[in-house]
Amino acid sequence: MIPDKAFYIDPGNVNGDTFVLDQEESLHASRVLRLKPNDEICLLDGTGTGFHAMIKSVMHDRVSGVIREKKQGLGENKISIILAPAMIKRDRFETLLEKATELGVNEIQPLVLDRCVKKTINIDRCQKIVTASAKQCRRSRFPVVKNPKDLETWINTMDGPCIAGSLSGKKTISQLNLGAEKPIHIIIGPEGDFSDQEIKQMKKAGVQFYSLGERRLRAETAVLATLSVLNELMN
């Protein structure tokens, strides 16, 4: 059984069956959690590998130990999901990042849509939120947060099925043609829904529209609902 306490481990700090935590993670383990030799921990390298490990040495800013078991794809979905949410207010966008990470998204591509007020994000802060969330839920692959793009630029780079939640959607997610060979792209619009021009752009690109019901949902709520349904259907 994989231990509850999880730490990020740089892949370069795993050497055969031994590991060394970086300074930040070592301080967290030794000072905050007060871990000791022979305590068991979970290590996550952020690229898809998890480890069941045991601490052997605890110093002020250097915690090291041995690898007991390697777990490829620890905490990962069977499908790859690329989430493209509309830009929303910072506190709500950060909640979206946290929950999307917990629900298995692989990449987050913010979109600047016609009805978005916010246009920029702090990538470093966003990536820290994603990393903390991945550690909390013991995901071995940390989602990548990209710089915002406009819809037309991003939609022309897609390779795989794309779906979009919309108040005008007629089908449920289970009725869509998704497949499982390529990543699934999900577009989540702002509360005011997509503009007519954006709807036309997406239809031209072959985007499939779905409905989450008659209630107008906040963007972060729509993300939670969509990912929960997809996880049930595809995993």
- pLDDT exceeds 80 at position 28: yes
What secondary structure does DSSP assign to 119-133, as a single string? ----HHHHHHHHHHH
Burial of 23 (0-12, 13-18, 19+ CB in 10 A): exposed
The CA distance from 172 to 215, in Å, is 14
Considering only 107-111, 115-119, 223-227, which range has the smallest mean pLDDT? Answer: 115-119
Q: Are residues 55 and 99 in the same domain?
A: no
Q: What's 64's domain CATH number?
A: 2.40.240.20
177 has a pLDDT exceeding 90 = no
**Distance (Å, whole) CA 21 – CA 6:** 11
Looking at the domain assignment, is residue 133 inside a domain? Answer: yes
Q: pLDDT confidence of 168, banded at 50, 70, 90?
A: confident
Contact 137, 104 (CB under 8 A): no
Where among 17, 49, 72 does a domain terminate?
Answer: 72
In a domain, 167, yes or no: yes
Sorting pLDDT into bands at 50, 70 and 90, what band is 191? confident
Last residue of a domain, one of 16, 46, 72: 72
CB-count burial class (<10 Å; 0-12, 13-18, 19+) for 219? buried
Q: Which residues are paired to 51 by β-bridges?
A: 43, 70
139 and 98 in one domain? yes
Say yes or no: 53 and 147 in one domain: no
51 pLDDT more than 90: yes
Q: Return the H-helix or E-strand segment holding 222.
A: helix 219-234
Q: Tell me, yes or no, whether 89 lies in a domain.
A: yes
Query: Does residue 171 belong to any structural domain of this protein?
Result: yes
Angle between helix 123-137 and 90-102 (nearest 10)? 40
Asked if residue 234 lies in contact with residue 79, where contact means CB atoms within 8 angstroms, the answer is: yes
64 and 97 co-located in one domain: no
Task: Give the H or E element holding residue 223.
Answer: helix 219-234
Domain residues for the domain of 31 are 6-72
Q: Is residue 1 a part of any domain in this protein?
A: no
pLDDT at residue 152 tops 90: yes
**Mean of pLDDT over the chain:** 94
Q: Tell which residue, 69, 72, 73, 97, has the closest CA to residue 83.
A: 97
